[in-house]
Amino acid sequence: MTDPRVLSQQLLDRLAGSGELTPVWSEAFAAVPRHQFIPDMIWTTHDAELVPLRRAENPQEWMQRVYGPAAVTVQVDDGHPLVPGRRGRYITSSASQPNVVVRMLDALDAQPGMRVLEIGTGTGYNAALLAHRLGGENVTSVEIDRDLAEHARRALATSGYPLAVITADGTRGYPPHAPYDRIMSTAAVQHVPYPWIAQTRPGGKILTPWGTHYHNGALVSFIVNRDGTAQGRIVGNVAFMFLRDQRIYASVDDEECDETTARKSQTTVTPYSVVGDYDASLAIGMKVPGCSVIVVPDPTVELTGTLWFVDPDTDSWANMHYQPHTCVYPIHQSGPRNLWDEVETAYHWWRQVGCPGPERWQIMITPEGQQVTLTETSALATTEWSIDPMSAVGPDHRDR
Ligand SMILES: C[S@@+](CC[C@H](N)C(=O)[O-])C[C@H]1O[C@@H](n2cnc3c(N)ncnc32)[C@H](O)[C@@H]1O
């Protein structure tokens, strides 16, 4: 089955059936042909590597993926595949999952007549949906990668949405078309670039995926205040690739991590508690800046593996070996930071303050930087701590 009209209708039915496609966006989803925005070569995952899938060689699979429920990878390794044999290691651009696209458009709360800046044009598909509803003259989209921007420009023009696609670093916004009523980033940030606030009119909104080294998974909606600050709350759970200059570079080479010389201890805190629990890992990420967590399952034994905690900036690492039917886990720590101790302390703190969920966090942006605070459920009274998790740089390559 390769008829795009049939597949598009199936996609609409799926989104409508799950309650995700609201009437406000259904017309745009029905009108914009997703396949016209996806390049002829996409990438799929095989044995932990990314391999090309060409439309000409397998039109059926290509079309199924384009209208499927998953994100479609359209670029790897910033356009220069790193693995010999033209295979890719990292996803650097993708057309996001359709249900995430619709959720974000809903959360953006853009009304006809509003002016919108999109950061991260990618394929141009999301920009076309915005243009369909708001008018192409009201939408500007910025893409850092020249080839992607060029592809999107062509696809938008061919599909009847010739809006302004700017090849530039979106962290600077796009001053010539400011002020905007809405800014929407389709790449994640660890800290919101201040130009986005400066270029949004008071009362306007900024919607962006937001994350820490430890936890990439929050959709944050900011309201811009008259005094040039912005106040954000978490409104959803999404995981996106980070903006190019905010990527997180964390990896682990277990041969270089010598457990015999590491500090040894043990814990009864389960791996699930600090990694699998969304609310806990969100809080740990806020409290333990610069620490990434990497799960390495043992491919030969079920439910067995190692959790790594790494901070490349200070050359610190910790690990926890896990296996089923145990309640005590061995810990090794090395480097100037005791990363496991920090994670465990943050986890106990999170429990002590009542296991707050995402709705309790507030993110304030001022010209001086970003502040994250834990608030009471309804009022915005702050509790005992406030930190700035904008310490880090470097790639995380997820995109949902
Ligand atoms: C998830 S994709 C965007 C999907 C896109 N909105 C679509 O509809 O296909 C994220 C995009 O952000 C772009 N990007 C990353 N850093 C950027 C930056 N600093 N400025 C502008 N674009 C950036 C990437 O090149 C990538 O194309």
Asked whether residue 77 is assigned to any structural domain, the reply reads yes
- Of the candidates 283, 394, 288, 304, which has an alpha carbon nearest to the alpha carbon of residue 341? 288
Residues 20 and 144 in one domain: yes
Predicted TM-score of the model (pTM): 0.93
Residues 178 and 291 in one domain: no
Q: Is 117 in the pocket of ligand 1 (CB under 6 A)?
A: no
Two structure tokens written together for 201: 């009119």
Q: Is 95 in the pocket of ligand 1 (CB under 6 A)?
A: yes
Residues 152 and 24 in one domain: yes
Pocket test for ligand 1, best of 25, 29, 121 (most atoms within 8 A of CB): 121
Asked whether residue 194 is assigned to any structural domain, the reply reads no
Residues 318 and 177 in one domain: no
Which of 161, 186, 211 is the C-terminal boundary of a domain? 186
Residues 160 and 269 in one domain: no
For the CA of 101, the closest atom of ligand 1 is 8
Residues 288 and 140 in one domain: no
Q: What is the CATH number of the domain that holds 64?
A: 3.40.50.150
Active site (annotated) includes residue 185: no
Asked whether residue 195 is assigned to any structural domain, the reply reads no
State the catalytic residue, choosing from 94, 96, 141, 221: 96
Range of the domain at 143: 4-186
Asked whether residue 209 is assigned to any structural domain, the reply reads no
Residues 20 and 113 in one domain: yes
Vertex 318, ends 314 and 320: CA angle to 5°? Answer: 165
Residues 162 and 277 in one domain: no
Which of 314, 337, 352 is the C-terminal boundary of a domain? 352
Asked whether residue 245 is assigned to any structural domain, the reply reads no
229 CA to centre of ligand 1 in angstroms: 25
203 CA to centre of ligand 1 in angstroms: 25
Asked whether residue 369 is assigned to any structural domain, the reply reads no
Asked whether residue 338 is assigned to any structural domain, the reply reads yes
Which of 154, 186, 218 is the C-terminal boundary of a domain? 186
Asked whether residue 280 is assigned to any structural domain, the reply reads yes
pLDDT tens digits in sequence order for the chain, 400 residues long? 689 999 999 999 999 999 999 999 999 999 999 999 999 999 999 988 999 999 999 999 999 999 999 999 999 999 999 998 889 999 999 999 999 999 999 999 999 999 999 999 999 999 999 999 999 999 999 999 999 999 999 999 999 999 999 999 999 999 999 999 999 999 999 999 999 999 999 999 999 999 999 999 899 999 999 999 999 999 999 999 999 999 999 888 888 899 999 999 999 999 999 999 999 999 999 999 999 999 999 999 999 999 999 999 999 999 999 999 999 999 999 999 999 999 999 999 999 999 999 999 999 999 999 999 999 864 343 333 333 333 322 233 333 3
Q: What is the CATH number of the domain that holds 299?
A: 3.30.160
Residues 160 and 77 in one domain: yes
Residues 18 and 143 in one domain: yes
Residues 134 and 282 in one domain: no
- Of the candidates 98, 127, 51, 43, which has an alpha carbon nearest to the alpha carbon of residue 400? 98
What burial letters (b/e) apply to 84-93, b meaning 16+ CB within 10 Å?
Answer: eeebbebbbb
> In the prediction, which pLDDT does 253 show?
84
Number of domains, the chain: 2
Pocket test for ligand 1, best of 241, 247, 400 (most atoms within 8 A of CB): 241
Angle between helices 4-17 and 59-66 (to 10 degrees): 30
Contact 292, 281 (CB under 8 A): no
119 CA to centre of ligand 1 in angstroms: 6
245 CA to centre of ligand 1 in angstroms: 12
